[in-house]
Amino acid sequence: MGSPRALRSSPRFMSMTKDARRQRSPPPEEPKERISWDDYFLKAATLASIRSPCDRLKVGCVIVKNNRLISMGYNGFLAGTDHRSIVRWGHEQATIHAEINAITDAAKRGVSIDDSVAYITHYPCINCFKALASSGVKKIYYQVDYKNDPILEDLGYGISLIKL
């Protein structure tokens, strides 16, 4: 690096005023409050939704157990197939929903989602709700209302469905 004398005679040091040389760096900022686990995992679901090739609606789902993300999915086409939109009865037929992708990803890897929690960007359809319930998901958090069906509340299956 050089001697202290050489540093004091450097052009940078010499161009600074005496007051500037005395100034110290500002104190570190106060630590910001950490986001909650619910917000954290909902943001992860939102991030997953960005991968969706669907032009109509991008949905993401993460499945969590003991505050650890164990599976993730987004709505999209089957891997290795043509991305071809087929809409029937106002609903896309060629894509797999984010929730199903998350469930099947865990199943393919041999990961149990029993007693887990799902975080979904949008209110789940009845089929995804039933699939999550039969897979052992105990609580579902979602962010955006989307074709909410009151039958999910009637079915219940002992699952909490909570809008964040």
Confirm if 101 and 62 have CB atoms less than 8 A apart.
no
> How far is it, in rounded angstroms, from Cα 139 to Cα 157?
10
Q: Is 138 exposed, middle or buried (0-12, 13-18, 19+ CB in 10 A)?
A: middle
Among residues 29, 30, 99, 153, the one annotated as catalytic is: 99
Specify whether 153 is catalytic: no
Angle of helix 98-108 versus helix 126-134 axis, rounded to 10 = 20
Q: Is 7 left (phi over 0), alpha (psi -120 to 50) or beta?
A: alpha
> How far is it, in rounded angstroms, from Cα 103 to Cα 109?
10
Catalytic residue numbers read: 99
